[in-house]
Chains A and B, each alone.
Chain A
């Protein structure tokens, strides 16, 4: 019972998570740009 066949689906899931991380970072930078003039710099 070693669940070898699960490697591929979990690996695909890891790429989805990596993509979500990238989207979250891009979203954060986009919001930084949009709010730049309102931020007390």
Chain B
């Protein structure tokens, strides 16, 4: 840690870890309901557990993004954060918003708009938090006068995320109109601007972990930004296939959403290229596992499994089935969860006392158990989804009758989900095992050191 204010990231990561654990509690409870009559049916019905599961995911990943940004920006701009106090105020507001929203969901207090269920007061707090966050980041960069392409792409992704939250503030009576604009937030977040955030973190980590050339990395970032604007934005149309919008969305969605994996392929290529060039000299091998793992799992979950059902002729049958859950779980985990865990793994040796740079064996167990568990969960959703599509959509069997026929796949889901939860549990345990450190551990960077190539 070169700058004292970077330590604020620790608390963001700590909150993210706690929320990540809670997310899995509600995920396991949701999966259990597929097995048969559930004693918790009237206390925690499926719609409540699922809403909490997905909302906690968004909140913890965003908390991780914020923490990782507060870690990365001082490092890139070579200065202290503009205001540590503002960062803490933001974290307190953000955490209160998240916790009260979850409590509200338990009492059915929400808008019912999928993934954007937060009531209006909570949404306004999200806007306030984002404004504080962007102001703090913007002023830090402005004060330093140093603005790298890597942080430029990250900030562009963060600012765009904030702007794209505005359609979520509006309420529409017409369900089709509501869905039409809902994707302006959800799709353009996860398949658009969040890719820039992920690309920013990925480039930062690869430059530091593999010693890859910054110029090459940053050129790839431009490619990713270009593809996000081309394929990501028009690819929104693959959510418009069967929701009541005009027919012309079908070819637009089919063509441009098929291009979306290109950005992901680009990311995986530059991760692999960087790894080959570097010789992997950095001692923090655990962070490198998470970084490369994120690029590869994104290629699998978002790229391959997304492409598998994005064509209109296939999506006609798979839309809204467990095939969507298959793609969603693998894509979100690979692209966003893993990159946050990579940033945490990179920063943690500097943020805690007594932790070795290389990482502990618990850390590696956490990595492989999570990867194996999530791969198994994805296969469980895939097999259940294929069965569901044939029985329900093609043969015309009723929804509940089809669910009874595919129950066995949920046993596999629970086994693999437990394996995954064990990995996450180990990561959380490993995170809190050592006391946090708030002192600077490395000297500040001087221009002379940069000139002689001691820092990147």
Contact = CB atoms under 8 A, between A and B. Distances in A.
Given A10-B18, A28-B28, A29-B414, A21 B425 contact: yes
B94 to A, nearest CB: 15
A25 B418 contact: yes
A7 B411 CA distance: 38
Contacts of A25: 28, 417-418, 421
A24 B414 contact: no
A26 to B, nearest CB: 9
A27 B24 contact: no
A10 B14 CA distance: 8
A28 B21 contact: no
A28 B380 CA distance: 16
Taking chain A's interface residues, is the majority helix, strand, or loop, or is none over half, making it mixed? helix
A17 B88 CA distance: 23
A17 B19 CA distance: 9
Interface residues of A, number: 29
A21 B373 CA distance: 15
Contacts of A2: 7, 438
B18 A21 contact: no
Interface in B31-60: 31-32, 35-38
A20 B109 CA distance: 23
A13 to B, nearest CB: 6
B428 A39 contact: no
Given A10-B432, A21-B24, A29 B14 contact: no
Contacts of A28: 28-29, 31-32, 414, 417-418
B25 interface: yes
Nearest to B26: A24
A35 to B, nearest CB: 4
Report which residue of B22, B25, B421, B431 has the largest number of chain A beta carbons within 10 angstroms of its beta carbon. Answer: B25
Given A13-B18, A17-B22, A32-B411, A24 B429 contact: no
A6 B17 contact: no
B436 A7 contact: yes
B88 A3 contact: yes
Contacts of B438: 2, 4
A32 B37 CA distance: 11
Contacts of A3: 11, 88
Given A18-B429, A27-B28, A4 B436 contact: yes
A20 B21 contact: yes
A35 B414 CA distance: 13
Interface in A1-41: 1-4, 6-7, 10-11, 13-14, 17-18, 20-25, 27-29, 31-32, 34-35, 38-41
A39 B22 contact: no
B34 to A, nearest CB: 10
Contacts of B25: 17, 20-21, 23-24
A6 B18 CA distance: 14
Pick the 3 closest A-B CB pairs, nearest first: A35-B36, A17-B21, A24-B28
Interface of B: 7, 11, 14, 17-18, 21-22, 24-26, 28-29, 31-32, 35-38, 84-85, 88, 404-408, 411, 414, 417-418, 421, 424-425, 428-429, 431-432, 435-436, 438
Given A24-B25, A40-B405, 14 more contacts: A3-B88, A4-B438, A6-B11, A10-B14, A11-B432, A17-B22, A18-B428, A20-B25, A24-B29, A25-B418, A28-B418, A29-B418, A31-B38, A32-B411
